[in-house]
Amino acid sequence: MERFAELLIASILLAGLYATMAYGLGLIYGVLRIVNLNHGGMIMAGAYAGWWLHEELGIDPYLALLPVALAAFLVGVLTYGLLVRRLPRGAAGGVQSLLLLFGVWLVVRNAAYLMFTGNDQTVRTSYSTLAVPLAGALVSVNRLAVFAAALATLVILHLLLRKTYLGKAIRAVAQNPESCTLVGISVERIYMLTFGLGTALAAVAGLLGATLFPFNPSFGAGELLKSFVVVVLGGLGSIAGTAIAALILALVEVFAILVIPAYLTAAVGFVLLVLVLVLRPGGLFGQRVLG
């Protein structure tokens, strides 16, 4: 029973991390119908930004969340304004957007190699190895904090999309951009803000990840892959679905150790992905548009 509780807690905490990594990717796809391959690059950039603020200015990584998110938002807005805006919309822009954003990712990654070298970096705080007892198991304070941040992000995103004019406009644009133009919503502006928001979420995920494990400029590739799995499982464009899919993926991965060797547990998620694509191509929760 104790082992079950330990595994359950580990799953829930891991789900928090996965959800944080996937929100940005899901949001941008849901509204712009663009797969942001630079999501991995921004996860890495967020990790370095948090690390730099901690090392150079002594700012706690959790206090750095807001400035890093704001800076990444601006980067996202600029990326959209300078590059993404020029792409053709819809299916026609699919390949171009993949190539363009993959190129941006390569530039970001190589810039990081030049600036920070390939050395692994870590963010070490006084609570890095602090643990608290929970349901008979010792739980890392850091992991709890990451989970809390994931939960907070979910609530904020939900409130933003449901209760604010901007959120309603984002949802409207996601559903029918042409009609939005007719009722006076600036679709380009919404696209730009959504791209900024998605980029900020990626950077936040990177910063949170940096508090848990070492990273270098190649950081973000594995996280992007995992984000894909979560977003596809949850149904593209569904924020709540993303959170639930993250939990399902984490539960399957963690509990898989009871029946299969540990090195295969990472592959379980991809098997799940293939199964969902074959049996429910719209994701476990369907193709809902940011609902």
Partner 1 sequence: MRGMRSCLFVLLLASPAFAADKIVIGATLPLTGSESRIGGFYKEGYELAFEETSKKGGLSVGGKKMQVELLLLDDTSTQATAASLADRLINSDKVQFLLGTYATNLVESQSVVAEQNTIPYVNGGGAASAIYKRGYKWIFGLLAPVELLADSMMKWIDAEQKAGKLPRPATIALLWENTSHGKDFRKGVSDFAARSKGGYSVAVDESFELNGKDFSALLGKVKAAKTDLFLADAHLPDYITMQRQYVTAGLCHKILSYGARGSEKQAAEALGKKDVEYILSAVWWSPLLAAKNPQAKQFVELFKGKYGGRTPEWYQALGYETARALFTAIEQAGSLDREAVRQKLAALKIPSLLPGGELTFPAEFGQQIHAPFVVQQNLSDGTSPIIAPPDAATGKGIAPNPGCPK
Q: Which residues are near partner 1 by CB under 8 A?
A: 3, 6-7, 10, 13-14, 17, 110, 113, 117-120, 122, 124, 128-131, 138-140, 142, 209, 212-216, 218, 222, 253-255, 257, 261-263, 265-266
Helix (H, G, I), strand (E, B) or coil at 131: strand
CB of 256 to partner 1, least distance (A): 8
Q: Which amino acid is at 11?
A: S
Residue among 96 and 122 whose Cβ is closer to partner 1: 122
Per DSSP bridges, beta strands 131-134 and 137-140 are antiparallel
CB of 267 to partner 1, least distance (A): 8
The first and second tokens of residue 18, run together, are 């996965």
CB of 258 to partner 1, least distance (A): 8
Residue among 87 and 139 whose Cβ is closer to partner 1: 139
DSSP letter for 88, please.
Answer: P
CB of 118 to partner 1, least distance (A): 3
The first and second tokens of residue 143, run together, are 């992991």
Q: Which amino acid is at 169?
A: A
CB of 18 to partner 1, least distance (A): 9
DSSP letter for 129, please.
Answer: T
CA angle 119, 104, 31 (to 5 degrees): 120
**Among all chains, which residue has been given the structure tokens 């944080």?**
20
Residue among 128 and 175 whose Cβ is closer to partner 1: 128
Backbone angles phi, psi at 131, to 5 degrees: -135, 150
Q: Distance between CA 98 and CA 36 in Å, rounded?
A: 7
Residue among 118 and 184 whose Cβ is closer to partner 1: 118
Residue among 66 and 258 whose Cβ is closer to partner 1: 258
Residue among 107 and 130 whose Cβ is closer to partner 1: 130
CB of 233 to partner 1, least distance (A): 17
Under 8 Å between Cβ of 80 and 195 = yes
Q: Distance between CA 234 and CA 16 in Å, rounded?
A: 14
